[in-house]
Amino acid sequence: MDGSTATIIAAIFSSGALSALVSGLMAKKASKKTRDYGIEAGVRMLLYEKIKSLGKQYIARGSIHPEELEDILKMHEIYHNELHGNGFLDALMYNVKKLPVTDE
């Protein structure tokens, strides 16, 4: 490292520029985390509403097609396990799983 590089590095450390840079990077990371949480919460709510709506529809119909059952089970798995959903849909899913599976 030559003298001018050492002088520049010393100036960065002593001027507070490094502190500002680190603060800026930390703020950007916090902002991304907040945005990611918001996106996750939004997807969780959309899945919640979709599962609830479909589950009620299948229960009212009194049966469920195999593909519908596969889809709603997968949606619930993602909602509950991947997106850390609460247990509010568990009773609904219990009733959906009890439905007769039919191709009609």
Amino acid, res. 45: M
Per residue in 56-91, pLDDT (tens digit) is 999 999 999 999 999 999 999 999 999 988 889 999
Exposure string over 19-44, b if 16+ CB within 10 A, otherwise e = eeeeeeeeeeeeeeeeeeeeeeeeeb
Task: Report d(CA 20, CA 24) in Å as an integer.
Answer: 6
pLDDT > 90: percent of the chain: 51
Residue 22: the pLDDT is: 64
Nearest to 47 by CA among 75, 16, 89, 84: 75
pLDDT at 86: 85
Q: Alpha-carbon distance 70 to 100, whole Å? A: 13
**pLDDT given at position 53:** 96
Q: What is the mean pLDDT of residues 9-19?
A: 59
Determine whether 93 is exposed, middle or buried from the number of CB atoms within 10 Å of its CB (0-12, 13-18, 19+).
Answer: buried
